[in-house]
Chain A
Amino acid sequence: MMCEDARLLLHAYLDDELDAAQSASMVAHLRSCAGCAASYGDQTRLRKALAQPGLYRKAPDALRRQWTAATPAAPRARPGMPGWAMAAGFAAAFLLAGVLWIGQSHTSASSDLLVSEAISGHLRSLQGTHLMDVVSTDQHTVKPWFEGKLDFSPRVKELGGEGFPLAGGRLDAIDGHSVAALIYRRRLHVINLYQWPAQTESVQQTTQRNGYTVIRWSDNGMRFLVVSDVNPAELKQFVLAFQNEEVMR
């Protein structure tokens, strides 16, 4: 074996990645070549030095806590609790539940992807200051805010009378579209309502995944998708209220 080859292969030898024949010729070379043997000795010491536990960066406790909060029911929002902590709690539960998906068959239709994306968007919106770009309980403030930011005019409804006060709005992206996101609240829960224009009409569909409910419907050339962790019955009530108001107008 030439030293040039040995310099490369001694690393694989060190890592126990050589086959038997290559290992044998490596051993023979190291026995006969003082230079490569010294180099091997150095690399062995370097490896040992790199194994010192002080070099391993363990996840900070704060991060771990965020992602290990127990169940979707546990991290109920408390006043003053930072949004990201809630989000992370939900996300952790989602992750834990996610492990269970492995066993399930992959029915990965594009609509499934849409649901995942909507839930990810919902989780992301709960982090930090991402929830709202315009904070207002007044539809006449929220609706004009979207002007010029989107190529359509979103429907904005006040549903405070139904127990779903409007909290604000935000731009988001779903399925490659720029979408309007309206944020409503139900007690301490957050409801994200996404809407964007679409050619195809589709029937109302309810999907539940890991404690989140996603309801999709379309109306008058617009797709609507609402996602929240409130119980499904209340989310249906929200959808009815949103649709009913449309009829009344």
Chain B
Amino acid sequence: MLPYLDAAYNLAHWLSHNQADAQDVVQEALLRALRYFDSFRGGDARVWLLAIVRNTFYTLHNRHASDHLHDSIDEEAHPIADEHPSPETLALLAVDVGSLQSALQRLSHPLREVIVLRELEECSYKEIATVTGQKIGTVMSRLARARERLKSELIHHSKEVRRHDV
């Protein structure tokens, strides 16, 4: 498990926003990993541990691990295509760590976790599907939605900043 301590912590931190909560989640997840070790049927131990971290986070925070009610409504209301196509693209924006970080934190949990799993943990769609218990098709559309949302958060935020500067 220990080679995956960083992976476990990274996911826990992005889900829970702060270091103390993230540590609690990882501690509890590792204890659960010990307890459920008998249920580990081989395969990728990292993916197995990430799934436990994710479940631990949602149980500790009393959230539903899978689709929230308003999240699914959200998905219907906001198809992947942005409704207000603007000529602005990211090309002109400085995408620094700070603005990415705050944009990521403004995403809902389901969208943020899929970005973290894909971009930071570099999981394949199949691995993400295993971690989150979703179908591969769901992973694909959710990731598409998450990236578009992240992009519009970045554009929106930089507009605000510019407005403040003026």
Contact = CB atoms under 8 A, between A and B. Distances in A.
Given A45-B91, A113-B38, A64 B97 contact: no
Interface stretch (A25-33, A101-109, A178-186): A101-109
Contacts of B162: none
Contacts of A101: 37
Interface string B28-64: 0011011101111010000000000000000000000
Contacts of A245: none
Contacts of B90: 42, 45-46, 49
Contacts of B125: 12, 15, 17
Contacts of B39: 108
Contacts of B134: none
B9 A59 contact: yes
B147 A43 contact: yes
Interface of B: 1-2, 5-6, 8-10, 13-14, 19, 22-23, 26-27, 30-31, 33-35, 37-40, 42, 80-81, 85, 89-91, 95, 97, 100-101, 104, 115, 118-120, 124-125, 140-141, 143-144, 147-148, 150-151, 154
Given A17-B124, A120-B34, 5 more contacts: A46-B147, A47-B119, A49-B100, A67-B5, A116-B35
7 contacts: A8-B80, A50-B119, A57-B9, A59-B8, A63-B27, A88-B27, A94-B34
Interface of A: 3-4, 7-8, 10-12, 15, 17, 35, 38, 41-43, 45-47, 49-52, 54-60, 63-64, 67-68, 88, 91-92, 94-96, 98-99, 101-102, 106, 108, 112-113, 116-117, 119-120, 123-124, 127
